[in-house]
Structure 1
C-alpha cells in the first residue's frame, strides 16, 4: 500500500506515476503539486492537488473536465473506462441500469453537453463514499441542468476534487475515525420526522422526543453520563478525573426547520459524541469535564420563539414563554408536561459561569464561502447581530384601468421601492446584509391597484454599530417613500440581537488545530444565528464551520456535506480539546 511518507520522499516521476489515476488522464496536476512536498497529512496533499487545478487556466480546467467519461455513456457500455471510473460507476449500479434509465441518462448527457460544452461530472460514490442510487444521480443531473454555465463549471471541478479525494483515500488506505459514523447517525436521525414527506422535527413533538432518546442512547454508548433536562436538552457528561475541574460545553440544536436538512445543528452534537467515543475507547480523560449538549430548540418552528434550549443553560429563559401557544393552541408548558418534564424546574438548569472554560460549537457553514475556496473547515470570527421588522403598507385599492398612474397610492409599488432601498443601502458594506424575505399583497387581484402590502425586513452585520446605522437609514427611507407616495406605514420590531464575537484565544486554538491537520486556517463570519450567540452571555465561545455542498444550501433537503469533511472537523475538534487540556 502506498504511504504518505513514500509520496513525500520518492522521486518526482515516481510521485506522478503513483498518482496517475487520481485525476482522470491529467498527470500535469501531480507534476505541479510535487513541488509542494512534503505534505503533513492526506488532507494537505488533497489541498495541494486542488490548488494546482484552481490556479490552472480555464482552458486547462476545461480539458480536465472533458477527459471525464459520461455516466453510463458509450464508453462505459463498451468497457473503455479507466479502472477507477469503472469501479465508481459500478458502485452506484450504473452498469445495471434498466433500458428506461439508460435512455434517460443518455438524453440528459446530450442536453447537458449541448448546454455546457463539457460532460456532466458527479462523484457517484457520494458524500459517504459508498455510492449514490441511480435515482439520486438522475435527480442531481436534472437539477444541475438548470445552473448557469460558470456555476456549473465550478461545481464540476468540485466534483472532480471529490472523486480525487475518494481515490486518494483508497490509494493511501485512509481510515476514518469519525466521518462515516457521523454520516450514518445523521441518516438515522433524518428518518425521524413529524412528516412522512420531509424532515421536520419541531419542539416537543413525538419525533423530537424520539430524536432526544436516540441521542441519549448514543451518548451513553460513547461513555457519557446522560440526562434530559426540564427544557428537553440532552446532556452528556464526560467527566474529568478531578471532580472540581471546570467544564467545557460543546453541542448544538437537534430541532429542525420544516422540510430541513440532516446536518444543520445535528453535526455539532453527533461529531462530539464520536470524538468522546474515541477518547473513551482509548481510556483517555481530559483535565476538564466535557459536556455535549443537544439543545432542544433553536429554530422557533412550533412556538415562534428561538433558543429555548440554550437560554435555559444561560439562565435567560423567560418563564412567560411557557404560555406561548402553537397553531393548535398548545402551550409550551403543556407540551413539556406531556413529555414528562417539569417546567417549574427550568430555572435550575442554568450553569454557573465561574465553572465554565467556554463553549465551542461545530456547525455546517450554511453558505458557500468555504465551498468556493475549496476548504473543509473554517474558524468563525463572530456571529452577526440582526434586526428584524414586519412592515405593513396601506395605500388605496382602486381600479387598474381607470386610475391614472400619477394619481395612484400603490402599496406594492412602495414595497418594490423599499426592496431596492434595502439592497442599495446594504450592498458593498462588508459584513452588512439586508433582505426582504417575505412580500405579500393580501387578496391581490390582477385588475386592482394594491391597497395593502406586507413585507419583512432583516438586517445583519458583524458590527452592531454598522447594523444599527443601516436600520436607521432604511427606516428613515421607508418613511420618506411612504410620505411621497401617500402610503400609511406600520412597523413592528420582531428581533433585536447583538452580534456575538468569538473569543480570540479559543479561535487561535481552533486555528492551530487546523494547522496541525495540515490545512490552512481561514476565518469566516457567521451570518446565521446559532446557540453560541446565547452561550456568549455566560462564557467565551468559539465556532468551527464545516463546508456545505450543493452551493452551500441549508435549511433544505439538498443540504449536504461529506464524510471526509466531517473527519477533518473531528480531527480539529479532538486536537482543540487536547490542546485546551494541556493548558487547563
Structure 2
C-alpha cells in the first residue's frame, strides 16, 4: 500500500520543531510545550479524517472506524513526549507513521474490518513524577492510586498533572480496556542501537522488550567540614556511592557474553549538602537494571548491596534500598512478528530479528492484547541525544511496513 512519504516527513519536521528553543529537541510531558505539540497533533488527526479524542488518562486517540464493530480494535502509535534534548524521532516517528497509515487507508477508500486506533500515549518517557508509560498503564488498568499520588519537585501530584494536560483523573476507570480488549498493537520506532545500520538491514523485527527495574539507594554518612575533618575520621557518603557505581559497572560488564546480557546504570545521583567545603553526608542514587533475564534483573540490586555492605560499614556508612518500579520482560507476539516479516518481504525489504533494550508502551499494552514492534535504523545508534537522526526513506520504510502489517493482521485476526 502506498503512503505519502513526503507528507510523513513534513509532519516529523513540524512536530520535532515544537521544542524548547534553548534545548532542542525537547518536549517534556506535563509542560506547556508538550501541550502545544498535542494541539498540533490533534489538528493533524482531525485533518486526516480521524475521529479524535483526549481520553481521561490524557492519551490522544484518533479512530478510523472499521466495517465490523464487533471486532476488537487494532492499535498503532507511540508517544510525542521526549527526554531532555533527545526527542526528534524517538516516539514521534511511531505516532506520525501511524497517522500516515490511517490517512492513507482512508484516502484510498480501503475500509478495514477492524477499527484502527492511532494513539499518542501520555508520558512514555520517565516523567518528573518518576514514572514512565503513564498513558499505556491507564489503558492496561495499571495506573494505581499510589501512582496518582506521586509528586514532582514542585509539589504537583500526578493526579493534578493529568488534569493539567486535559485528562480527567476521576474517570480513569473508564479508560481501562479488558484483558483481551485489543486485537493487536504495532509500533514503529528507531532502533536506538547500531545493529541494523551496521548490517545494512532496513527493518528490524523486535523479538522481546527487556525488563526494567529501578531502585532508590540511599548511602548515609555524616556531613562535616571539609577542611577540619581528618581523612581517617570521615564518613563520606559519596565515597560509598562511588564504590557502588564501580561495582555495578563491573558486575554488569561480566554478563556481556551471556545470551541475555544485563546493563546497569546509576543515571541520577543527589548529594547533600552538595557544597565544595562539606563532606557529603548523604548520597541518593537511582539504579536502573535492564535485561531479558527476569531473575537477573530482580536479583542485581540486592546482590550488589549485600556484597558491598561490609565495605561500606568499614567506611562508617549505612545503606538502604527501596524499589521504585519493576517491569518484566515482554515477548512480542509470534503472529505479529510473522505479519511484519511477510509485510517487509512483500515490499522487498530485508529484515532481522533483534530484541529491544529500551522500554516501550507495548510492555503495558501486552496485558490487554498481543504486541509487536518494527525497528528502522538510526545514525550511529544515537538516541536520547541531540544527534538522533534518521532519513526520510527510513521513516517511509517503517510506515510502509506498518501499513502492510496492519492490512495482513486485519485479514488474519478475529
TM-score normalised according to structure 2 size: 0.89
Residues 310/443 of structure 1: CA separation in 2 closer, same or farther (3 Å cut):
same
Distance 1:458 1:338 in 2: 29
1:557 to 374, 383, 386: 386
Q: Match of 1:254?
A: 80
Distance 2:78 2:36 in 1: 17
1:531 to 337, 361, 384: 361
Q: Secondary structure at the match of 2:351?
A: coil
Q: Quick check: 359-368 or 563-572, which moved more?
A: 359-368
TM-score normalised according to structure 1 size: 0.64
Deviations 1:309-338 (A, max 9, x none): 112211222245444444433344444445
Residues 459/326 of structure 1: CA separation in 2 closer, same or farther (3 Å cut):
closer
Q: Secondary structure at the match of 1:545?
A: strand
Q: Match of 1:304?
A: 130
Distance 2:34 2:270 in 1: 32
Q: Secondary structure at the match of 2:267?
A: coil
Q: How does 1:377-456 map to 2 (within 5 A)?
A: 377-396=203-222, 397=224, 403=230, 409-427=235-253, 428=256, 429=258, 430-443=260-273, 450-456=280-286
Distance 2:310 2:200 in 1: 44
The structural deviation recorded for 1:294 is 0.8
The structural deviation recorded for 1:231 is 2.0
Q: Match of 1:177?
A: 3
The structure where strand makes up a greater share of residues is 2
Distance 1:447 1:223 in 2: 62
Distance 1:391 1:350 in 2: 33
**Does the aligned pair in 1 maintain the 2:2–2:104 contact within 8 Å?**
no
The structural deviation recorded for 1:553 is 1.9
Aligned length: 408
Distance 1:445 1:211 in 2: 39
Deviations 1:252-302 (A, max 9, x none): 111222233221111111001111222112111222111111112222434
**Does the aligned pair in 2 maintain the 1:194–1:205 contact within 8 Å?**
no
The structural deviation recorded for 1:197 is 4.2
Residues 480/524 of structure 1: CA separation in 2 closer, same or farther (3 Å cut):
farther
Q: Match of 1:466?
A: 296
Distance 1:486 1:337 in 2: 46
Residues 505/484 of structure 1: CA separation in 2 closer, same or farther (3 Å cut):
farther
Q: Secondary structure at the match of 2:82?
A: coil
The structural deviation recorded for 1:389 is 1.8
Distance 1:214 1:230 in 2: 19
Higher relative contact order (CA 8 A, sep 6+): 2
Residues 411/290 of structure 1: CA separation in 2 closer, same or farther (3 Å cut):
same
Distance 1:493 1:370 in 2: 34
Q: Match of 1:546?
A: 376
Deviations 1:528-575 (A, max 9, x none): 1111011111111111122121x2222222211111111111121122
> In the alignment, does 2:316 pair up with 1:486?
yes
**Does the aligned pair in 1 maintain the 2:273–2:281 contact within 8 Å?**
no
> In the alignment, does 2:407 pair up with 1:578?
yes
The structural deviation recorded for 1:228 is 1.5
Q: How does 1:53-72 map to 2 (within 5 A)?
A: none
**Does the aligned pair in 2 maintain the 1:321–1:332 contact within 8 Å?**
yes
Deviations 1:465-495 (A, max 9, x none): 1222333321222323313433211223222
Q: Match of 1:242?
A: 68
Larger Cα-atom Rg: 1
Q: Match of 1:104?
A: none
Distance 1:408 1:335 in 2: 42
Distance 2:221 2:165 in 1: 48
> In the alignment, does 2:327 pair up with 1:497?
yes
Alignment RMSD, CA only?
Answer: 2.7
Structure 2 unaligned blocks of 5 or more: none
Q: Secondary structure at the match of 1:264?
A: coil
The structure where helix makes up a greater share of residues is 1
Distance 1:569 1:199 in 2: 21
